[in-house]
């Protein structure tokens, strides 16, 4: 079986005592989130570590999940750790490297050919170290996790920001960088700053055109892309229990877009139904036996304001369908107001492509709701007016929907079924553009819509909605179309009003699949050889980073002062660069090429202080590295939001950047920088951002006495001979300071295991 039932039994058997002890320590009723976190604390923790929003705490996760793009670097690091086998159940999922171009069959064949070296590497490493391997075509990591591994009350970390999807099945699932995954696979505890809690009370029940996707689109509009930073969202109420398990997953999935550590729902009948439908009746039975531990205490939900740091309430019966965007997933528009917004803002009204699927909305229920619209369109002689793509979430979902006649219905209205992979959602899209106007629009059921995210084009206005709404919109091709009120004209000139979508939560004949795409690891991997060609441009064995030299840092050059939004996509783009995710030197050529230089408003154009000429960011940094000169990157608010990609931290470290100084960090990126031995610093006074000048040479003072809760000093040596001294803060604890001193967390892991 795919899951480890003995591990789950152990978690449940220990949960009761752990929760009882936690309740004594905190002296009050507990939320669901607290119950799970407290039950996964490492043993012997003091009362201080039960405080929300406080200190860093060590946890023992139950499993690790990795997608192929991030798994390469995570496993290259794990290979240095010295272990014969992973310490916790772990899996690799090949979903990121498959480019969408013409359709599932051809695209998958091309990917297997082009990426053979990487797939062979991941397969062999997994086989050697006891890691389950999901082959290309098996499905998107988060959908596969929900179907195969997630369980109520568990704790998982994954090397992808949308690992949080598993919260839909009652699991605390958190996106991390590869170094964190390496720690846990090596048998070390995992560290997290104890989050605050945001309670989301759902009342009423969704109906008609409204879907679970609209819940998180609404929440994103309320909290914004950074409103959930440092917090876990816990959903509860009668509205929560009425949502399907996969609908819950959709909501948790997009919690990554508001910066939340993760999101979660309590165990209920819908989860039990999903477990049984996916051949995990034994887990449902175990969960039923500890059901009181898998939801918040009744007192918490009766008076949520007393137990959560913030409470949001949404009446699902009154919730409208939403469309969010463009360029940010928190620009939320109720459908009734969206057409006016399109016209008032001058956004390209007639969109070119509608895309449904992705890890956010590719379940059986999602596809049945969308297919009901396609079926109605066929009956009423309606066809897609735009390009239309459909991405099933897994081979199990694809096989089942094909068996039930859903996929042909999409094709009959002009849709193209893509491979069971991330594809356009992460920029793996060979888009077919026919328009001549660079400004264009697309609408998707994905999660992110930052500029350049889907097709690399900064002029593409990407909007996010539910898959059924996207399907309705492609029948019009007009963003101002409202299927709840407007009519379409069919091929016969007849006026047609679409019927409300109808979905089926779980297949009536059960899920089915011929080959799910799973490869179990060898019982004994000692004889498995892993080969990496020395001249490969896809894979590169790692050398340890150098330890801190033991002094303050002087003479650092300003590499770039980034202005505005700077996500991990801006720092380390995906798309065509995904092929280099296992080769640190090669992928470092994309470092910060998407960041906007505050001094000239351009991307990938910074001043080389050695020559006074402007050049591409990686080239200028390589010049500093060749001259043995360190540098510093300066950024704005929520720096490093978005994907968990560790490369955004490893590339600057590899090329010689010594510190990143920003107004504020996104959680995962800040941790990734720390793990790689970088200095992650924040302005004590955000107004000091304006003091940074283009030709600055910078000193970092105070490192010799580097200590928790003690600011450092930066000296800005300006070109005209003047100076500014500014205070900068950090969130390093004593253990993280040791990472910095050692040159990275992995250097400490290696030392521990070899000792």
**In angstroms, rounded to a whole number, what is the distance separating the alpha carbons of residues 527 and 530?**
10
**In angstroms, rounded to a whole number, what is the distance separating the alpha carbons of residues 659 and 716?**
14
**Of 285, 308, 321, nearest to 210 (Cα)?**
321
* Ramachandran class of 505: left when φ > 0, alpha when ψ lies in -120 to 50, beta otherwise: alpha
- Phi, psi dihedral angles at 655 (to 5 degrees): -90, 0
Give the single-character DSSP code of 419. Answer: P
Q: What residues form DSSP beta bridges with 101?
A: none
DSSP 342-379: HHHHT--SB-SEEEE-TTTS-SHHHHHHHHHHHHHHHH
**Of 401, 409, 353, 340, nearest to 378 (Cα)?**
409
**In angstroms, rounded to a whole number, what is the distance separating the alpha carbons of residues 680 and 513?**
47
Polymer length of the chain: 755
Please report which residue ranges of 224-356 form alpha helices under DSSP H.
238-242, 245-253, 269-277, 281-289, 298-302, 335-345
Q: What is the SS3 assignment for 237?
A: coil
**In angstroms, rounded to a whole number, what is the distance separating the alpha carbons of residues 501 and 210?**
9
**In angstroms, rounded to a whole number, what is the distance separating the alpha carbons of residues 298 and 302?**
6
Q: What residues form DSSP beta bridges with 389?
A: 355, 416
Buried b or exposed e, range 355-390, using 16+ CB within 10 angstroms: bbbbbbbbbbbbbbbbbbbbbbbeebebebbbbbbb
**In angstroms, rounded to a whole number, what is the distance separating the alpha carbons of residues 361 and 472?**
15
From the number of C-beta atoms within 10 Å of its C-beta (0-12, 13-18, 19+), residue 258 rates as buried
Token pair in block for residue 646: 């560790």
* Ramachandran class of 278: left when φ > 0, alpha when ψ lies in -120 to 50, beta otherwise: alpha
Buried b or exposed e, range 474-488, using 16+ CB within 10 angstroms: bbbbbbebbbbeeeb
**In angstroms, rounded to a whole number, what is the distance separating the alpha carbons of residues 44 and 197?**
24
Q: Spell out the residues 6+ positions from residue 547 whose beta carbon is closer than 8 angstroms to its own.
A: 677, 741, 742, 743, 747
Cα dihedral: 708, 711, 715, 716 (round 10): 110
**In angstroms, rounded to a whole number, what is the distance separating the alpha carbons of residues 224 and 405?**
39
Please report where in the chains the tokens 């919730």 appear, as a residue: 319
CA distances from 659 to 134, 178, 544, 692, 718 (A): 37, 20, 18, 14, 18
**In angstroms, rounded to a whole number, what is the distance separating the alpha carbons of residues 717 and 71?**
41
**In angstroms, rounded to a whole number, what is the distance separating the alpha carbons of residues 744 and 650?**
10
**In angstroms, rounded to a whole number, what is the distance separating the alpha carbons of residues 532 and 539?**
7
Catalytic residue numbers read: 95-96, 160, 448, 643, 645
Q: What residues form DSSP beta bridges with 233?
A: 198, 263
**In angstroms, rounded to a whole number, what is the distance separating the alpha carbons of residues 748 and 98?**
35
- Phi, psi dihedral angles at 500 (to 5 degrees): -65, 145
**In angstroms, rounded to a whole number, what is the distance separating the alpha carbons of residues 364 and 656?**
47
Please report where in the chains the tokens 């910074």 appear, as a residue: 606
């Amino acid at each position: 079986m795919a899951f480890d039932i003995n591990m789950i039994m152990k978690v449940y058997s220990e949960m009761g005592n752990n929760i009882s002890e936690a309740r004594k320590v905190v002296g009050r009723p507990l939320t669901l989130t607290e119950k799970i976190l407290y039950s996964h604390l490492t043993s012997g923790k003091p009362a201080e570590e039960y405080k929300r929003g406080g200190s860093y705490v060590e946890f023992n996760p139950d499993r690790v999940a990795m997608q192929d793009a991030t798994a390469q670097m995570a496993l290259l690091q794990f290979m240095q750790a010295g272990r014969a086998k992973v310490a916790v159940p772990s899996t690799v999922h090949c979903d990121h490297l498959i480019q969408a171009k013409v359709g599932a069959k051809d695209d998958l064949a091309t990917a297997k050919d082009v990426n053979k070296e990487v797939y062979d590497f991941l397969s062999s490493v997994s086989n050697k170290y006891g890691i389950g391997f999901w082959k290309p075509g098996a499905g998107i990591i988060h959908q596969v996790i929900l179907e195969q591994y997630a369980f109520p009350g568990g704790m998982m970390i994954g090397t992808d920001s949308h690992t949080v999807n598993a919260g839909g099945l009652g699991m605390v699932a958190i996106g991390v960088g590869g170094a964190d995954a390496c720690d846990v696979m090596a048998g070390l505890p995992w560290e997290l700053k104890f989050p605050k809690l945001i309670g989301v009370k759902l009342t009423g029940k969704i109906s008609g055109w409204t879907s679970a996707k609209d819940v998180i689109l609404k929440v994103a509009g309320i909290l914004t892309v950074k409103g959930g930073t440092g917090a876990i969202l816990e959903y509860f109420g009668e509205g929560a229990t009425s949502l399907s398990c996969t609908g819950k997953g959709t909501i948790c999935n997009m919690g990554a877009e508001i910066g939340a550590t993760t999101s979660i729902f309590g165990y209920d009948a819908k989860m039990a139904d999903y477990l049984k439908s996916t051949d995990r009746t034994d887990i449902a039975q175990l969960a039923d036996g500890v059901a009181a531990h898998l939801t918040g205490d009744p007192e918490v939900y009766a008076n949520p304001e007393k137990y959560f740091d913030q409470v949001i309430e949404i009446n699902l019966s009154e919730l409208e369908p939403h469309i969010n965007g463009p360029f940010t997933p928190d620009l939320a528009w109720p459908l009734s107001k969206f057409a006016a917004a399109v016209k008032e803002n001058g956004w390209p009204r007639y969109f070119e492509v509608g895309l449904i699927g992705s890890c956010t909305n590719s379940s059986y229920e999602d596809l049945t709701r969308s297919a009901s619209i396609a079926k109605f369109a066929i009956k009423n002689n309606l066809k897609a007016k735009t390009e239309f793509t459909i991405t099933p979430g897994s081979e199990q979902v694809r096989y089942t929907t094909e068996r039930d006649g859903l996929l042909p219905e999409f094709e009959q209205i002009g849709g193209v079924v893509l491979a069971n992979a991330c594809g356009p959602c992460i920029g793996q899209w060979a888009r077919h553009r026919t328009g001549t106007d660079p400004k264009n629009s697309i609408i998707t059921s994905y999660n992110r819509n930052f500029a350049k995210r889907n097709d690399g084009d900064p002029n593409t206005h990407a909007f996010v909605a539910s898959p059924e709404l996207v399907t309705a919109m492609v029948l019009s091709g007009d963003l101002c179309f409202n299927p709840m009120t407007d009519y379409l004209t069919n091929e016969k000139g007849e006026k047609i009003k679409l019927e409300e979508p109808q979905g089926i939560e779980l297949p009536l004949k059960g899920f089915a699949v011929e080959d799910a795409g799973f490869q179990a690891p060898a019982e004994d991997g000692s004889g498995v050889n892993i080969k990496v060609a020395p001249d490969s441009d896809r894979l590169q064995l790692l050398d340890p980073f150098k330890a801190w030299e033991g002094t303050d840092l002087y003479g650092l050059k300003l590499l770039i002062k980034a202005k505005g939004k700077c996500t991990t996509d801006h720092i380390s783009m995906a798309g065509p660069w995904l092929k280099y995710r296992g080769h640190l030197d090669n992928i470092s050529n994309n470092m910060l090429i998407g960041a906007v230089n505050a001094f000239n408003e351009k991307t990938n154009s910074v001043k080389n202080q050695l020559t006074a000429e402007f050049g591409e960011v990686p080239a200028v940094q390589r010049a500093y590295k060749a001259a043995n000169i360190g540098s510093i990157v300066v950024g704005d608010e929520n720096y490093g939001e978005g994907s968990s990609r560790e490369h955004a931290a490893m590339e600057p470290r590899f090329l010689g950047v010594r510190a990143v100084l920003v107004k504020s960090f996104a959680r995962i990126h800040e941790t990734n920088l720390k793990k790689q031995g970088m200095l992650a610093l924040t302005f004590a006074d955000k107004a000091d951002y304006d003091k940074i000048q283009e030709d600055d040479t910078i000193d970092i003072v105070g490192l010799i006495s580097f200590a928790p809760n003690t600011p450092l000093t930066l000296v800005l040596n300006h070109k005209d001979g003047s100076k500014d001294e500014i205070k900068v803060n950090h969130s390093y604890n004593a253990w993280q300071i040791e990472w910095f001193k050692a040159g990275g967390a992995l250097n400490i892991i290696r030392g521990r295991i070899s000792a």
